[in-house]
Amino acid sequence: MTKAELLEAIAKGNPELTKKQVSTVVESVFATMTTAIKKNKKFSYPGFGSFEVRQRKARMGRNPQTGETMKIKASKTVGFKPAKALKDKL
């Protein structure tokens, strides 16, 4: 599902809201989630799942074009763990 499809689906389910209002709400939700993950290192929504900051260790990798070995720096990423309720619906 793309962003446009998400906004369209929400707008259809809430005819009292314009697409612009729906877009503003969705953008606000994602901005708030991003801030929470950045500040608290975790964001969870019951019944859906949790997002958390995960550390990736430095490691050796290989350049696929040249085959040359290279060092990949340590980094942070966001991981998602689905809630049991979400897993059961799949």
The pLDDT value recorded for residue 74 is 96
Whole-angstrom CA distances from 86 to 8, 31, 37, 48 are: 22, 23, 20, 6
The pLDDT value recorded for residue 2 is 95
The pLDDT value recorded for residue 24 is 95
Q: What are phi and psi of 3, to 5 degrees?
A: -60, -45
pLDDT band at 23 (very low <50, low <70, confident <90, very high): very high
Work out the angle between the directed axes of helices 3-13 and 19-40 (0-180°, nearest 10).
120
d(CA 67, CA 59): 16
The pLDDT value recorded for residue 76 is 94
Per-residue pLDDT of 25-80, as tens digits, reads: 999 999 999 999 999 999 999 999 999 999 999 999 999 999 999 999 999 999 99
**Domains by residue range for the chain, with CATH:** 3-58+71-89 (4.10.520.10)
Rounded mean pLDDT, 1-25? 93
d(CA 64, CA 83): 36
Half-sphere exposure of 68 (CA within 13 A, CB side): 5
Beta bridge partners of 33: none
